[in-house]
Chains A and B, each alone.
Chain A
């Protein structure tokens, strides 16, 4: 019964809230996983923008791309308003800057480094009252962790703290086309509360983007594969017509 009463965080993404029976259970940590070019960043940004428009403060932590560049990528969307940034309803954070300040400009993190990083992210979420968070990508952070235990500790610890704060989090995970399972290190998928898999599929000479909710704790959901369309009004999802399609990752 508890699962039915959990408050939802509506993604605002056309079709996704329907698949999830009303949205993501608030406080969940969701892995957005897929190989390159499948729309992970776009989907995550749209999730944040809708939240910001509804008055939920959103934060995007970028590991690999400069935040200014992301703003440029977002301008093409009709629902995006630059004011969201200037009025700090949507906050863009460059993790490299955080690394510099915390002395984390190194290839391998120690357990202490991991804890310092988690505390910093939690501190920002808490003090800025962030309700929606995207870390893009978790893979490039995990790359600096030296063991699966550390990755496990990092995601568990982070997920727990953010959940307690009522912050719904997307962890963007880069998947190699050759990878087995749903994440680069195999650990992330086991710990996350939800997994949304993005992929490519070829159909009659056309390369389609697909979306599938693999798991989502706290709600029932469809596990069917949907076609994902990136348009200037945002992400559109439509049921997949399977005839003649071949899966490619």
Chain B
């Protein structure tokens, strides 16, 4: 019985795994700032356009910037973008900006009697929103969450881990695939291992400084049931995106 797989979007990496990544798998992509996690996420997204329902959750970039970056690599941009960052700005940050202005200048007299936005609105849970959006997807789907850090900073760690477990289970049962990005070496061990235990594949991007440049490594840290598949590859980014070099 052959394993049903799907492509990651990087040929050499597909080969190093099981000729792609098995359907139902959740991948964690961790890395230091500047290592290219976001670009990897976009390459991964466009690789699924032909065969899957691709949904890209972003917490930091604007929609147009995502599309523009993808176009510059000639990647298929036929994906759905759910912008948590913009929503966060509109529902939380914009309000905080207004509050800081009011605190500095005082509330203008004509605005005193206008009803303010109540706290209820503020307590919108983006974590719940993401899981809800995912639960509605038609399988097979490919979801990208860039990045988990936003949620880890906003909510209790245990709640994020529990949401991740829900997303993983749903991805597994719908024979779909998920990629989640996260910063390396930021969280406590309990959080880190809690996340690493749930996901099926862990990829880590690492940059080492040499005299005049960086050596970039892609580390396959975990492949569920296949410890022999783990390994270290050198990578570079050219006009086609990520490529592994021998």
A120 with B116, Cβ < 8 A, contacts A102-B102, A103-B96, A103-B99 known: no
Chain A hits for B107, CB < 8 A: 98, 101-102, 120, 123
Q: Which residues of A contact B119 (CB under 8 A)?
A: 100, 105
The answer, yes or no, to whether A119 is at the interface (CB within 8 Å) is yes
How many residues on B have C-beta within 8 angstroms of the other chain's C-beta atoms? 17
Report whether A128 and B99 are in contact in the complex, using a CB–CB cutoff of 8 Å: no
Asked if B109 contacts A103 (CB within 8 A), the reply is no
Against A, the Cβ 8 Å flags (1 = close, 0 = not) of B85-100 are 0000000000010111
A100 and B116 form a contact (CB under 8 A): yes
Contacting A at CB under 8 A, from B113-155, are 113, 115-119
Known: A100-B118, A101-B107, A102-B107. A124 touches B99 (CB 8 A): no
Residues of B within 8 A of A81 (CB): none
The answer to whether B96 and A119 touch across the interface, beta carbons within 8 angstroms, is: no
Q: A120: nearest residue on chain B (CB-CB)? A: B106
For A116, the chain B residues whose CB sits under 8 A away are: 103
Q: In the complex, how many angstroms separate the beta carbon of A107 from the nearest chain B beta carbon?
A: 13
Within 8 A of A (CB), among B166-225: none
A242 to chain B, nearest CB (A): 47
Instruction: Tell me, in angstroms, the Cα distance from A101 to B119 when the chains sit together.
Output: 10
- Tell whether, in the assembled complex, residue A97 and residue B116 are in contact, meaning their CB atoms are under 8 Å apart: yes
**A93 CB–B CB distance under 8 Å:** yes
Bound-complex Cα distance A100 to B102 (A): 11
Instruction: Decide yes or no whether A164 CB sits under 8 A from chain B.
Output: no
CB-CB < 8 A to A97: which residues of B?
A: 112-113, 115-116
Kindly provide the distance from the CB of B93 to the nearest chain A CB, expressed in whole angstroms. 13
Contacts of B106 in A (CB 8 A): 119-120, 123
Asked whether B117 lies within 8 Å of A100 as measured between CB atoms, the reply is yes
Dominant SS at the B interface? helix
The interface size bin for chain A is: 10 to 19
A97-B115, A97-B116 known; A102 vs B109 contact (CB < 8 Å): no
Query: B residues within 8 A CB of A128?
Result: 109
User: A53 vs B89: C-alpha distance in the bound complex, in angstroms?
Assistant: 47
- Chain A positions within 8 Å of B112 at CB level: 93, 97-98, 101, 124
Complex-state Cα separation, A97 to B107, whole angstroms: 11
Number of A-B contacts (CB under 8 A): 40
One digit per residue, 1 when the CB lies within 8 angstroms of any chain B CB and 0 when it does not, for chain A 77-103 equals 000000000000000010001101111
Q: Are A124's CB and B109's CB within 8 A?
A: yes
- Bound together, the chains give a CA A105 to CA B121 distance in angstroms of 13
A72 within 8 A of B: no
In the complex, which residue of chain B has the Cβ closest to the Cβ of A119? B106
- Whether B103 pairs with A102 at a CB distance below 8 angstroms is yes
Q: Using Cβ atoms and an 8 Å threshold, which residues of chain B touch A120?
A: 106-107
CB distance from A17 to the nearest CB of B (A): 31
Expressed in whole angstroms, the minimum distance between the Cβ of A150 and any Cβ of chain B is 17
Considering only CB atoms, which chain B residue lies closest to A67 in the complex? B113
What distance in Å separates the Cβ of A247 from its nearest Cβ neighbour in chain B?
42
Which residue of the partner chain A has the closest CB to B107? A101
CB <8 Å contact, A101 and B109: no
What residues of chain B lie closer than 8 Å to A149, measured between beta carbons? none
Q: Tell me, in angstroms, the Cα distance from A142 to B98 when the chains sit together.
A: 26
| Interface status of A68 (Cβ within 8 A of chain B) | no
Find out whether the CB atom of B103 lies under 8 angstroms from the CB atom of A103. yes
Closest residue of chain A to B122 (Cβ to Cβ) is A105
Docked pose: A100 CA to B103 CA in angstroms: 11
- How distant is the Cα of A120 from the Cα of B117 in the complex, in angstroms? 18
In the bound complex, residues from chain B placing their C-beta under 8 Å from that of A103 are 96, 99-100, 102-103
Q: Mark A111-122, 1 if CB is under 8 A from B, else 0.
A: 000001001100
Cα A105 to Cα B112 with chains together (Å): 16
The smallest C-beta distance from B115 to any residue of chain A, in angstroms, reads: 7
For residue A206, CB closer than 8 A to chain B, the reply is no
CB distance from B95 to the nearest CB of A (A): 9
When distances are taken between beta carbons in the complex, the residues of chain B under 8 Å from A101 are 98-99, 102, 107, 111-112, 116
Interface contact B115-A102, CB-CB below 8 Å: no
Q: Name the residue on A nearest B106 (C-beta).
A: A123
A-B contacts, 5 of them at CB < 8 A, read A100-B117, A101-B112, A103-B102, A105-B119, A128-B109
B residues near A (Cβ < 8 Å) are 96, 98-100, 102-103, 106-107, 109, 111-113, 115-119
Extra inter-chain contacts (4) besides given A102-B103, A103-B103, CB under 8 Å: A93-B113, A100-B119, A119-B106, A123-B107
A-side residues, CB < 8 A to B, are 93, 97-98, 100-103, 105, 116, 119-120, 123-124, 127-128
What 6 pairs between A and B have smallest CB-CB spacing? A100-B116, A103-B99, A123-B106, A101-B116, A116-B103, A127-B109
